[in-house]
Amino acid sequence: MSDRLRFGIFMAPFHQAGENPTLAIERDLELVQHLDKLGWDEAWIGEHHSAGTEIIASPEIFIAAAAERTKHIRLGTGVVSLAYHNPYMVAERAVQLDHMTRGRFMLGLGPGSLPTDAIMLGLDPTETRPLLEEGLEVIMQLLTTDDPVTSQTKMWNLTDARLHLRPYSDPLFDLAVPAVASPTGPRLAGKHGIGLLSIGATMEAGFDVLALHWDVMEERAATFGTVADRAKWRLVGMMHIAETREQAYRDVEHGIVQWFDYFQHTAAFPQMDVGDSGAVQEAIDFVNNSGLGSIGTADDAVAQIERLQKQSGGFGCYMTLAHEWANPDATKRSYELIAQRVFPQFQGQAYSTLDAKARAREGRAHLAERNMQAVTDMTEKHAAELAAKNDS
């Protein structure tokens, strides 16, 4: 695994119900543009259809628009709720985006997180994980072979299906599945040798969940002859940083309570247990003390990632769950500070300039003396030349 840690965002997105959705989606696109300019590596975009807060219905459409506004950042579906879709059509759209983005596309696939989505489509939430497993089998066969695929479930019927385009990426773009508490994600990631998005598993109470995720991946990989690659393991946490802790705390007064309220009282997603925090300081304390994330300074963010590296044994990408705890300007500044002051600590760019500074500092007294001597020597030389000229 490379020593260079990648950084990304996992954008559901989260917007307060009742606000202008047109402007909210535009703000999401502008954030991805901002991250692209700052050198962030990845942005994963979610799919949801109910509850009024996570308002992007098609991450593929969003990615197509974001790709036209960006140059470098890789864009992924985080995630397509595969139980709701024909897997053949998902594979077709993924290959098209791989071509349109010149290899910047990533495909994330999951069962769907909101039970209210599944119920509207005539599914019991208990049916979504088996459908994910069957759909992923279909997609992997379509993407990695030319063999025809026949598959029938409650949600789709395929007969001798083949893709007529091969991926742009060689041999294939990144694929990943999410994991919160159940072993479904790591089982599938290990079986197929694809990436894992560990969401909410950064909490101290969930540190053993990280070990579980990796152990399951390794066991499944060994069983099916694939490779469990830590470089493809992405940990999703939460951050908001500012120049001082006090400023960061003031920033999140804007929206952190509303965000907590969504998970506590609206989203039927019990795995994402963020506690019963009804006040700003309670919410801040929960984030910082539970291990869920870091609200504070760049140093606090560095310490959080270092803890995760030590506890997990190593991973390839740290992703912050995109939120609007702060207003848009403070939010963008937080991402900028992470890029300026946190990235270098994990990407091999901090030590060299710090070492150069230390060497110069250590030798400053001697070098300053030599520099002054050079000035003195030149002054004396010039005076001597003038004297010789006047004498002649």
The pLDDT tens digits for 242-260 are 999 999 999 999 999 999 9
Q: What is the CA angle 171-225-215, rounded to 5?
A: 105
Domain ranges within the chain, ordered by starting residue? 6-349, 355-391
CB 188 within 8 A of CB 177: yes
For the chain, percent of residues with pLDDT exceeding 70? 96
Q: pLDDT by residue (tens digit) across 53-91?
A: 999 999 999 999 999 999 999 999 999 999 999 999 999
| Short-list 119, 108, 269, CA closest to 127 | 119
Q: pLDDT by residue (tens digit) across 137-168?
A: 999 999 999 999 999 999 999 999 999 999 99
* Mean pLDDT (the chain, rounded): 93
For helices 256-265 and 280-290, angle between their N-to-C axes, nearest 10 degrees: 70
| Short-list 3, 25, 345, CA closest to 353 | 345
Mean pLDDT of 180-205: 88
Mean pLDDT of 96-125: 96
Report how far residue 39's alpha carbon sits from residue 153's, in angstroms, rounded to the nearest whole number: 42
CA 219 to chain centre: 25
| pLDDT above 70 (res 192) | yes
CA contacts within 13 A on the Cβ side of 224: 16
| pLDDT above 70 (res 175) | yes
DSSP annotation string for 233-275: EEEEEEEEE-SSHHHHHHHGGGTHHHHHHHHHHT---TTS---
pLDDT bucket at 269, cuts 50 / 70 / 90 = low
List the alpha helices (DSSP H) in 328-391: 328-337, 343-346, 351-362, 364-391
Report how far residue 259's alpha carbon sits from residue 283's, in angstroms, rounded to the nearest whole number: 10
| pLDDT above 80 (res 101) | yes
The predicted pLDDT at position 202 comes to 73
The predicted pLDDT at position 48 comes to 98
| pLDDT above 60 (res 273) | no
DSSP assignment letter at 311 = H
The predicted pLDDT at position 42 comes to 98
Could you check whether the bond before residue 171 is cis, i.e. omega within 30 degrees of 0?
yes
CA contacts within 13 A on the Cβ side of 331: 22
| Cβ-based neighbours of 364, under 8 Å, separated by 6 or more | none
Report how far residue 111's alpha carbon sits from residue 271's, in angstroms, rounded to the nearest whole number: 14
pTM for this entry: 0.92
Q: Among the CATH numbers 3.30.479.30, 1.10.645.10, 3.40.1280.10, 3.20.20.30, which is that of 6-349?
A: 3.20.20.30
CB 45 within 8 A of CB 75: yes
